[in-house]
Structure 1
Amino acid sequence: MKKLFSVLKYTGNYKGYTLLNILFNILFSLFSAATLALIAPFLELLFKTDLIDIGFMVLKGPPEFSLSSEYLKTAPNYYLALLIIGYSKGGALLVICLAVVILTFLKNICRYFAMYFIAPIRNGVVRDLRNKLYAKIIDLPLSYFSEEKKGDIMSRMTSDVQEIEWSIMQTLEMIFREPLTVVILFTLMLIISIKLTIYIIVLLPIAALVIAILGKSLKNAARKTKETLGSLISIIEETLGALKVIKAFNSEKNMRNKFGEQNDQYFRQSVKVYRKTDLASPLTEVIVTGILMLILFIGGKMVFTGELTAALFITYFGLASQLIPPIKQITTSYNNIQKGVASEERIDKILKADLIIHETQNAVIKKNFDINIEYKNVSFKYTKGDTGYVLKNINLNIPKGKTIALVGQSGSGKTTMADMLPRFYDCDSGEICIDGQNIKNLQLASLRNLIGVVTQESMLFNDTVAANISFGLQNVTPEKIENAAKIANAHEFISQLSGGYQTNIGDRGGKLSGGQRQRISIARAVLKDPQILILDEATSALDTESEKLVQEALSNLMKNRTSIVIAHRLSTIMNADEIIVLNKGEIIERGTHNQLLQAKGTYSKLCEMQSFK
């Protein structure tokens, strides 16, 4: 039951709207019951033809008020008799008809306001959940995403959030409106006949058992369907990011087959979910109808024996018949909530994920870099279960203003070593210090403010050139943006764009060439003006002119900065103050270019092969 209503925890910010929704749902149920309660007086009016009996009833006076079933049976008859005496049978009939119309109007007004107040809850929860998910995704460490599919995360932010929105509406209806309607109906039925109502109470758990079994099965099926949808979106995301590769390798057919297989699996699982969902309502109706027919049989015999009047029995049966819609709705809501619970569990998996990269209490705000960066016996592995370390016992001192080149074959740990400085990952043992302070004791934002990163692949956003250059900075003047672009050798081509600096560059900068994208990335780093620079040299195949411009831009960027360069070009390596050669996560050589060449070790072989990637 706790899990069943777990989706309601997201409505905490909307207590006022929730209470109003509950209030109008309660009023809706009361007006619905009042409408049904008029059936008995209406039938009594039709069946009672003896005005002497009616007059005698009035002369007896009103029954004494009590909460007994006898009072609730006799009071309507007394007031009906007053109507007949005062207005005649025709007038009384008109009053009852008008009362039904008014009650129906009030009932539907309440229903509208219940839905009116649930609208901001539903949409507000969707907004809040997506904001929370996005904020958590931004905060999660990079290691989290190496274990998760991007498409599955996107599915949780879209499909699963929508499922919770729908479940909230169903939950509010199931908790308050429908059960209250059932309770009121049962109360009226108990007043008319305790015996018949006991039969129903004994038999209804059969329907409840069927609903519970079906609901559990549906929850499991819904969770599998959501996971498959996540895989499906992952394939779409991969395809959009690799269309050029797919076409170049003539893999359209293979990708179509891969997508088709996943889509077929989603189709089959969705069909199962829909069939199970659609089974609940008719199955419940069949069971409840069977119970009603049994009541019809028993109640008919009670009329024959005089235990119950025909008018009261017809009223009772009408009330019992009205149990079907709310019970069916409860069944449908229960099953929809089960799907919502499955989605809530998937969303919670992200929201409750450990951030891993934690900021200590009273973290130090560091505004300047003055002395050095030092790696002290640093070791690291991506996940706790890994047997091998990506980095092992790394010791390195980088004085301010120096350029360090990290060299090694692919998989040697170069990028991981650089990524640990801005705390994209935290070391498992050892420590990294800036000016003698462990970076774990520094405020994360202030640490990253000291560092500029230029990645191997230019990461640009679907926005203007100016917005991409000033990314992450506030109140940057156009003059500063233009100056950064000039230093990065980007101003000339930007000026030739149709909208200049206000030109939208498309998804991931797709409207620009590779060299142009790289120069905008460099301009972004120039504008940030970091004291420490991490540079993963681009290995993209550029034309000679573009490569020259990019290299000049990088040289301009590195001037008077402390730089850690994941080097791929011999020219960059030769100019470095110290070269660190990595192999399988360990430093195996260090020194200047000439020193390492003379040592005739791994570095010398890499130079001969030009293998710095």
Structure 2
Amino acid sequence: MKERKKYSIKDKQENVLDAKFVSNEEPKEKIKNISFRQMFRYASGYDKFLITIGLISSTGAGILQPLNTLIFGSLTGDIIEYAISIQTNLSADQKKIAEDKFFDAIRYFAIMNSVIGVGMFIFNYLATATFNYSAMRQIFKIRSAYLKSILNQDVSWYDVNQTGDFASRMSDDLHKFEDGIGEKVPIFWSFQVVFLTSLIIALVKGWELALICLTSLPATLIIVRTVGILTTKLAKNQMEAYGAAGSIAEEALSLIRTVTAFGGQKKEVERYNKNLVLAKNNNIRRSMLSALGFGLLWLMIYSSYALAFWYGVKLVLRDRTVTNPIYTPSNMVTVFFSVMSGASNFGGASPYIEAFGISKAAASKIFSVIDHKPTINLSKENGKTLDVLKGNIQFKDVNFSYPSRKNVPILKGLSLNIKSGDTVALVGSSGCGKSTVMQLIQRLYDAESGEVILDGNNIKDYDLTWLRSQIGVVGQEPILFGTTILENIRYGKDGVTEEDIIQAAKKANAHNFIKSLPNGYNTLVGEKGAQLSGGQKQRIAIARALVRNPTLLLLDEATSALDNTSEAKVQAALDTASTECTTIIVAHRLSTIRSANKIIVLSQGVVVEEGTHEELMETKREYYRLVTAQVKSSEQFQAEKKKLVRSISATESTGSDHIIETTIEDNDDDFKENKDVSVFEILKMNAPEWPYILFAGLGSIVVGFGMPVFAVLFGSILGTLAYGDSDFVRSEANRYCLYFVLGGVVTMVSVFTQMYLLGIAGEKMTERVRSSLFKAMIYQEIGFFDKKTNGVGALCAKLSSDASNIQGATGIRVGTILQSIATFCLAIGLSMYYEWKLGLVTAAFTPVMLIAMFFEKRNTRGGNDSRDTALQKSTRTAVEAIGNIRTVASLGLEEKFQHIYESELMPHYKSSLKAVHWRAIVFGLSKSLLFFAYATAMYYGGFLIRDGLPYDRVFKVSQAQIMGTVSIANSLAFSPNFAKGITAAKKVKSFLSRIPIIRDLPSSRKMDKADGNFNFSKIEFSYSTRPNVLILKGLNLDILNGKTVAIVGESGCGKSTIIQLIERFYDPKSGEVKMDDVNLKHISLDSLRSHMGIVSQEPNLFNKTIAENIAYGDNSRKVTMEEIIQASKDANIHTFITGLPQGYDTKLGEKAVQLSGGQKQRIAIARALVRNPKVLLLDEATSALDTESEKVVQEALDQAKKGRTCITIAHRLTTIQDADLICVVENGVIAEAGSHQELLQKEGLYYKLYTQKT
């Protein structure tokens, strides 16, 4: 690979990052669009029945509503006729007849409107309840199907697809999906029925006027269609960006120790924010298009009003002289209100079209995963099973390369034979294909060509679930799940007894340390087993494999994390287990595989030699060279051992395992309990955008004023029709129509201002909330992430759902509320102005609406907390399973995790179903109260007209007040959004108010230079999840500048805890840790950690390029390519990297699963070296390397130690013999310390550890 000078990794990042979304995602298959009907594919027969009832009900509601226009039109004619009659000289009897006819019409109107009101309540209740109930049922099934599909995908799918955004998909996307199959469907359908019914009524009553009113319809359809297409496309882009951001968050939080150690918080926040900016910009463009579309739509509506009234009055005046007139005031009002009702419902459907577009986009993404057929199908039927599997394995000319690196062949015509019952060891340098062979046997992948034969049958012919049940696997990096030790071992084989589990734990030398825990086998291990040491995790993983009683046992560096005592005992147990099955071992410590029946040496993807240990040593080829290299490195060890070993009785020791207690206690005091927040609190979160909100608010108020003003103009036009002077009527009508046009222009500008500016304000706030929440998470102390409630899945779900819910209560919805308030206030004002008594009567219905809103709000918010808790818990389980898919697949736990997920999701599901009925009641009331209010207003208004009130005032008051009530009803559509938003805002405020326990203080000092002296003084320490169990018990230790200090001891004794205290991942309970005579608490965290380079036992790499991963070692500056290459050479990884087609630009994918353990470890070492640290922290830094690589890397580390303080933890005592100081930890203190020679001469603890090495 050509090296370039003055090459900045920061610049490089800009080049390699995807231009559209800032994630390291491999290209995936194109997502197919789905039809609206396909969104209901998970509807069962019962769901379809509910949907049918809902559609029938919404059709009934849609038909009933326009019938009001017939009744209202008829009443209008009667009122005008009565008004005209009382102006003429009539006899008392004639007046009585006219009055009786008038009140008969009033009573008929009141009765019919009340009947329509009852029908509207019943129909709307049924429509809303059935669709929401069905939607909840479908979403539950879709959540389950989505997880099932992901868990059943073959591992190669994971290599090229991003799964880190699972939490985002399950919360954000499914909320959008639910919108598209819930109550919005019957509401939309009802709108269409109203439109169609109104159109029929208008055409029947006066086709000429109706057609004139409909002239704007084609333009309206074009606007709606165009806006819908464009906004749907932008919605897809937004979801992609949020998905990428969710993936980044999941990765950063799951690798929080690595992020914290290398000061990568700022970089991760920036990486996350880049995708938020993309989502924000998409949504702002969407807001602009929607604002423009709706603005034009309102201009069309108001212009239609003007045209309708102008032409309608013209027709009425024309027919005044006709004997049987078609266009009477009654018919004109009927036609006009029918068209207006149809048009407003048609226009009101537009937001739902946008919502359906967004919902379809979300559904397309989810269904694309559900529908993806895995290459290696877990559920494939007719697969073979055998009564007895012998375990004969044969590879025939197998070629293989990983899907994400097709151009890099791993196996190149590999052929080998393994006989039943044999123990076969695979050896070779890192990356030669050893682990790949293991994965092909498990069918995590299939060979590209050639065959893998098992007992005479192609491995592809077997039932996959059965096949994997016959295999026990122990990997190099042990994966445990966030449950008890008992359940973790039971995951090895479903249905095993507790006695079986205990026996397996004894074989794995884990029983004693488990029993020493206060909760024994019921001890929770934490997420990824974080509460246990590496050795303890490894032993539990071995117990899990042994409890299966497997026919095939695959051991990939199974004892690499164990101390010498445990290793010897576990190795003996594995040797015993190997006699009962076919065993394949991958090991770098060649001493552990000497007794193997066959040793196969791999190089460059083929077998270069095979035989027994003795046979291969005689040939003196590749294996001989590997053994010789390892023997030479331990010659001094063996010589001294022979010299000093005496006949001593080695007693079984469990070390300090008994001090580990992992009952997770979730600290409820983490977050300050905020009082209930209100909508105004959410608006406060929008405070930085106050200029946008101010002008948008003014626009919303103007739009809100439009409807009451319309009522006044409408009443005025009707008032003119009672006059006999046609010229006067025509003149007044023209004037009022001009006002309508002017109102349309003002409304268009106001709607655009309202929607566009509130869209900007809402998106800016959403971006800020998501960013602040992620930033607050990533800067928390490590102890925060140890708690079960703060698992990666739960945090990602919170990050996505809480921000999404707050967004649902902001933006245009705030404008709708302001608009409704403005309409209601002006309506009340006008009512009081024109006739206060009638205004008070009609206003009496508003409290009923508000009371219903209150009860729904209380019910919705009361259930939100429990629902969200259940959803986060289930999401955490799903994310854990997906994140450890190789372990899940190997153990055949897909159905197990599916069941756990569904059972944890069930409380959310049941609670959601209960909330459906309250929502339906309130929605039904919001739609029906309008008609009761109409009936009351016009009935009482009749008496006022009789008593001399001008009838046009009754129309003005009733129409204005009705529109005020309608505005409140419209705002109800968003009440669930506000309830969720308020609950989410409360949680976000609580989270943001949490101050990290470990943080910089005002007095914290920056240390630009460090010598690297450390002093531990009387250190007592316990983890926050188990505060009563001391790990360190008064530990004292001095580490001098430039010296190498090795810390040894049994697994779980607290060695890694010391390193974590130096990194200040935790603070001691008492005592002080000092660097250069300064308490670590007084040094700024970035400054402290900038002087340290850490290499952990389990290397964690990011879904970035190799160059970016190495450069991550120093996030305080731009790392040049020359430095990256030099660090790689020092870590003996440069040759491997340059051999890849893309070299340093090779993307590693999620969890870097395509690399061997040794390759990952060397990249991690390069990452530590690139920052040129003053203090080097090595926690089993070479445990994953083969002998040859270990020797080279150890030499590099020895060179790197010069001039630096080095603290190293190692089980292989050969690697620490040259340490200046070796400290043996036991029972939480330094039991003995000295040089290698001094400690051997003491014949104490170190001597025992040393002499146990074989």
Q: TM-score, normalised by structure 2?
A: 0.44
SS in 1 for 2:594: helix
Cα RMSD between the aligned structures?
Answer: 2.8
SS in 2 for 1:198: helix
Matched, 1:17 2:87: no
Matched, 1:230 2:255: no
Equivalent-residue separation in structure 1 for 2:39 and 2:54 (angstroms): 16
Out of 18-27 and 251-260, give the one that drifted further.
Answer: 251-260
Measure how far apart 1:188 and its partner are.
0.8
Aligned pairs for 1:493-504 (under 5 A) are: 493-504=513-524
Indicate how the Cα distance of structure 1 residues 216 and 536 shifts in structure 2: closer, same or farther if over 3 A, else same: same
One-letter amino acid of the counterpart of residue 428, structure 1: E
Equivalent-residue separation in structure 2 for 1:452 and 1:277 (angstroms): 58
**Equivalent in the alignment of 1:330:** 349
**Equivalent in the alignment of 1:583:** 603
Matched, 1:444 2:464: yes
Indicate how the Cα distance of structure 1 residues 96 and 576 shifts in structure 2: closer, same or farther if over 3 A, else same: same
**Equivalent in the alignment of 1:300:** 313
Q: Is the 8 A contact 1:464 1:505 kept in 2?
A: yes
Aligned pairs for 1:125-274 (under 5 A) are: 125-169=138-182, 172-173=185-186, 176-274=189-287
Unaligned runs of 5+ in 2: 1-32, 86-96, 320-325, 631-1186, 1191-1254
**Equivalent in the alignment of 1:312:** 331
**Equivalent in the alignment of 2:106:** 93
SS in 2 for 1:161: helix
Measure how far apart 1:211 and its partner are.
1.5
Q: Is the 8 A contact 1:18 1:118 kept in 2?
A: yes
Equivalent-residue separation in structure 2 for 1:510 and 1:369 (angstroms): 36
Measure how far apart 1:19 and its partner are.
0.6
Q: Is the 8 A contact 1:360 1:441 kept in 2?
A: no
Q: Which of 23, 26, 37 matches 2:59?
A: 26
**Equivalent in the alignment of 2:857:** none
SS in 1 for 2:138: helix
Indicate how the Cα distance of structure 1 residues 403 and 489 shifts in structure 2: closer, same or farther if over 3 A, else same: same
Q: Deviations over 1:242-273 (max 9, x none)?
A: 11112222222222322232333333333334
Measure how far apart 1:117 and its partner are.
0.7
Out of 193-202 and 126-135, give the one that drifted further.
Answer: 193-202
Q: Which of 466, 482, 488 matches 1:468?
A: 488
Considering Cα pairs closer than 8 Å and 6+ residues apart, tell me whether 1 or 2 has the greater RCO: 2
Q: Is the 8 A contact 1:379 1:427 kept in 2?
A: yes
Equivalent-residue separation in structure 1 for 2:176 and 2:413 (angstroms): 48
Equivalent-residue separation in structure 1 for 2:202 and 2:235 (angstroms): 38
**Equivalent in the alignment of 1:37:** 70
Aligned pairs for 1:516-595 (under 5 A) are: 516-538=536-558, 543-545=563-565, 547-548=567-568, 550-595=570-615
SS in 2 for 1:151: coil
Indicate how the Cα distance of structure 1 residues 326 and 98 shifts in structure 2: closer, same or farther if over 3 A, else same: same
Equivalent-residue separation in structure 2 for 1:190 and 1:252 (angstroms): 66
Indicate how the Cα distance of structure 1 residues 282 and 494 shifts in structure 2: closer, same or farther if over 3 A, else same: farther
Q: Deviations over 1:74-105 (max 9, x none)?
A: xxxxxxxxxx8996532441232132123113
Q: Is the 8 A contact 1:514 1:540 kept in 2?
A: no
Measure how far apart 1:206 and its partner are.
0.9
Measure how far apart 1:471 and its partner are.
0.9
Matched, 1:290 2:303: yes
Q: Deviations over 1:391-426 (max 9, x none)?
A: 222211111111111222232222121111121111
Equivalent-residue separation in structure 1 for 2:566 and 2:129 (angstroms): 59
Indicate how the Cα distance of structure 1 residues 385 and 201 shifts in structure 2: closer, same or farther if over 3 A, else same: farther
Indicate how the Cα distance of structure 1 residues 273 and 585 shifts in structure 2: closer, same or farther if over 3 A, else same: farther
**Equivalent in the alignment of 1:482:** 502
Indicate how the Cα distance of structure 1 residues 272 and 529 shifts in structure 2: closer, same or farther if over 3 A, else same: farther
Measure how far apart 1:147 and its partner are.
0.4
Matched, 1:611 2:1188: yes
Q: TM-score, normalised by structure 1?
A: 0.88
One-letter amino acid of the counterpart of residue 581, structure 2: R
Q: Which of 28, 35, 46 matches 1:3?
A: 35
Q: Deviations over 1:310-351 (max 9, x none)?
A: 222122222222234422332111111111221122122212
One-letter amino acid of the counterpart of residue 494, structure 1: I
Measure how far apart 1:499 and its partner are.
2.0
**Equivalent in the alignment of 1:65:** none
Out of 113-122 and 347-356, give the one that drifted further.
Answer: 347-356
Q: Deviations over 1:534-592 (max 9, x none)?
A: 11115765554555555455445434221111222222232322222222322222222
Equivalent-residue separation in structure 1 for 2:313 and 2:81 (angstroms): 20
Measure how far apart 1:279 and its partner are.
5.0
Q: Is the 8 A contact 1:3 1:341 kept in 2?
A: yes
Out of 136-145 and 262-271, give the one that drifted further.
Answer: 262-271
SS in 2 for 1:190: helix
**Equivalent in the alignment of 1:357:** 376
Q: Is the 8 A contact 1:366 1:443 kept in 2?
A: no
Equivalent-residue separation in structure 2 for 1:220 and 1:121 (angstroms): 28
SS in 2 for 1:349: helix
**Equivalent in the alignment of 1:510:** 530
One-letter amino acid of the counterpart of residue 24, structure 1: S
Q: Deviations over 1:180-200 (max 9, x none)?
A: 111001011111211122234
Q: Is the 8 A contact 2:599 2:613 kept in 1?
A: yes
Equivalent-residue separation in structure 1 for 2:121 and 2:380 (angstroms): 56
Equivalent-residue separation in structure 2 for 1:230 and 1:285 (angstroms): 35
Indicate how the Cα distance of structure 1 residues 279 and 126 shifts in structure 2: closer, same or farther if over 3 A, else same: farther
Q: Which of 443, 453, 462 matches 1:423?
A: 443
Measure how far apart 1:143 and its partner are.
0.3
SS in 2 for 1:440: helix
Q: Is the 8 A contact 2:165 2:250 kept in 1?
A: no
One-letter amino acid of the counterpart of residue 22, structure 1: L
